[in-house]
Amino acid sequence: MSDKGQFEKGNTIGKETRFQKGNRASVKYREEYCQLLLNFFAVPEREIVYERKYYKDGTLQCETPKIVLPPRFPTFELFAASIGVVPNTLLNWCEKYPRFADAYALAKNIQLGIAKAHGAMKDYDSNFTKFLLVNDHGMSDKATLEAAGDKPFEVNIHVVR
């Protein structure tokens, strides 16, 4: 837009984009995505921020760990973005390519293990971990009432995983 509020020649406002009317550019499936997916979900490393002290000549004198950040949590959304697709594309590939479906299932198990391990070590917020386990991994936190013989109001709590 110009300073006068007029549209300049060559503007693209209101014109179709490549994502409209079926002209969507798509990323083709490649076998290498199976290994890329597993590499992406490999056990994440902690990030350590160091305080460094230097001599006057610029050489390192010493470094002391100051902050230890929790590991990056791998998600299918982040993996999909890293290869230029939307998450639903990954699900479509699972239906069409058995090898990718196996890699996806293994990545999902790796993600579950990471959530449990780092949730237990309190690297991740407990509310986030619980939300993730319930919503993405089918776990639940249930309390059920059962009649127990002559004690109809006894409460038995079963944790179902």
118 occurs within a structural domain: yes
Number of domains into which the chain is organized:
1
Query: Does 11 fall in a domain?
Result: no
CATH number of the domain to which 87 belongs: 1.10.132
Asked if residue 12 is part of any domain, the answer here is no
Q: Is 61 exposed, middle or buried (0-12, 13-18, 19+ CB in 10 A)?
A: exposed
Alpha-helical segments (H) within the chain: 32-40, 76-82, 87-96, 98-120, 126-136
For residue 22, tell me if it sits in a domain: no
By residue range, what is the domain housing residue 56? 32-156
What is the full per-residue pLDDT of the chain (161 aa) written as tens digits? Answer: 556 666 566 555 544 444 444 444 568 999 999 999 999 999 777 788 889 999 999 999 999 988 888 878 899 999 999 999 999 999 999 999 999 999 999 999 999 998 888 888 888 888 888 888 888 888 887 655 555 555 556 667 777 77
Is pTM beyond 0.75? Reply is no
The residue type found at 139 is M
* 135 occurs within a structural domain: yes
Is 2 contained in some domain?
no
